[in-house]
Amino acid sequence: MSRTVRLPRTSRASAGPGTLAALTAAAALVLTACGTGTGTGSGGSGGGSDTLTEIDYYDAAPQNTQLPAILDECGKQVGVTIKHQQVPRAQFLPRLLQQASARSLPDLALVDNPDLQQLAATGGLVSLSKAGLSTAGLYPSIVQAGQYQGQTYGIAPGVNGLALYYNTDVFKAAGLTPPKTWDELTSDARKLTHGSRYGVAFSAVGTEEGAFQFEPFFWTAGADLKKLDSPQAEQALTLWQKLVSAGSASKSVVTWTQADVNDQFGAGNAAMMVNGPWQLPTLDANKKLHFGIVPIPVPNAAAKPVTPLGGETWTVGHSNAAREAKAVKVVKCLLGHDESAKWSKDAGYIPSNQQAAAQLAQSDPQMAAFVQEIGTAKARTTELGTGYPKVSQALADAIQAALAGGTSPASALSQAQRTAQN
């Protein structure tokens, strides 16, 4: 997921947001409506091996301002110039799928991790496993997020996730401590709802962004994306529906993106919110706001939060041996301890390297909860592979039906399961 999880994504991260299912359909239209092009001007990997092409979808600081400098540094180490290109998020995957069909992918692409398997399935990516890139020291879940059919095609320099932000002034005034369980979350949200302030805010928008926000509750309850209508899934959706129906969360959550949620929290209109570390620069700039961050509340004290991995993976497109070799060297540089730590710090991500992540948790208390959750986090494509986008959209639709349409969680999820199976 990118900084704003403009996804499905980060799930930025990814993080306006669009659905992966819609992007897949759009890609088919692009393939029939557009020329393929192979030059570097179209993002392809044509040309000599002294200049490499790179593409990403970052359109907001700090990523879009920090990444070019990091690319330049790694390019110098490898002895190449890297031509950087940024495209709108909604156009990103369709463009890559088009280029993959023509075998004209950029040398380097920073791909949202749930999109990785779909892109790898085209055969247009270089296997980083066969290229000799090591994943030693990285979180296993992060390595898994970049794999397709047993091969690693993408490696994330850093990831993001979701945690619970809370307004420390409001909690102190109410004599409350941050909630750890769903019961405590429900109780605190009710007590903290007053006037124009809601107890909690989250994004339930009808895209991957809403599904991304719901997945920590869905997975922590023990639900599985292969069976959307399980009792565990119903339990999680019932929690969200009760928060909205009780007035502890705004009915507008069905239209709020994660950026909107952050705005509500920053303005004092929500005592708590579910959001990611990419929001920290904006929140820290608000000197009137005092907040803390804790892991996502769980159904019971014995459970551990299972959050979705957000963020992007570095991939290498097939071209020729010389270009591929240099692109792999650039990726190796980007994944190095120092560069990944710098990238994570600048972008508000957690380093994929476990040692670097532990150091971050010690040096930056704001990131401690996010680092704590990475150990039990899950790649969104773990259960379904390339089938994830369709199921994710079905889940997002179920959330909308339950929160905005008045449908019972059981009925909404039953419909979602039928849609996912068709």
Each residue's pLDDT tens digit, 211-221: 999 999 999 99
Mean pLDDT of the chain: 88
- pTM score, whole prediction: 0.82
pLDDT tens across 344-364, in order? 877 788 998 898 899 889 999
List C-alpha distances in Å: 84 to 16, 40, 308, 335: 21, 10, 28, 18
Residue ranges covered by each domain of the chain: 20-160+311-374, 163-307+387-421
Query: What's the average model confidence in pLDDT over 103-109?
Result: 95
CATH superfamily placement of domain 163-307+387-421:
Periplasmic binding protein-like II (3.40.190.10)
Q: Identical fold at 20-160+311-374 and 163-307+387-421?
A: yes
| E-strand stretches of 255-339 | 272-275, 291-294, 312-316
Beta carbons of 343 and 194 less than 8 angstroms apart: no
pLDDT at residue 61 in the model: 66
**In the 8-state DSSP scheme, what is residue 44?**
-
Q: In what order do the strands lie in the sheet with 272-275?
A: 272-275, 163-167, 291-294
Nearest to 246, CA basis, from 197, 190, 205, 185: 190
Residue 18 pLDDT > 60, yes or no? no
d(CA 355, CA 360): 9
Query: Of 41, 23, 40, which is closest to residue 89 (Cα–Cα)?
Result: 23
Q: Is pLDDT at 45 greater than 90 in this prediction?
A: no
Q: What is the mean pLDDT of residues 258-266?
A: 97
* pLDDT at residue 44 in the model: 56
The residue among 200 and 345 whose pLDDT is bigger is 200
Of residues 230 and 360, the one with the higher pLDDT is 230
Q: Is residue 6 scored above 60 in pLDDT?
A: no
Residue 331: both structure tokens together:
């990726």
DSSP state of 108: E
Q: Name the CATH code of domain 20-160+311-374 (choices 3.40.190.10, 3.30.70.600, 3.40.1360.10, 3.40.605.10).
A: 3.40.190.10
> Nearest CA to 316 among 59, 109, 52?
109
- The amino acid sitting at 61 is A
Query: Which has more confidence, 382 or 238?
Result: 238
**Which residues, 6 or more positions from 210, have their beta carbon under 8 angstroms from its beta carbon?**
203, 204, 254, 396, 399, 400
> Of 392, 421, 400, which Cα lies nearest the Cα of 113?
392
- Is residue 209 within 8 A of residue 9, CB to CB? The reply is yes
Residue from 169, 162, 175 nearest 271 by CA: 169
Contacts of residue 15, Cβ cutoff 8 Å, sequence gap at least 6: 1, 2, 3, 4, 5, 6, 7, 9, 209, 258, 259, 276, 278, 310
| Residue 8 confidence (pLDDT) above 70 | no
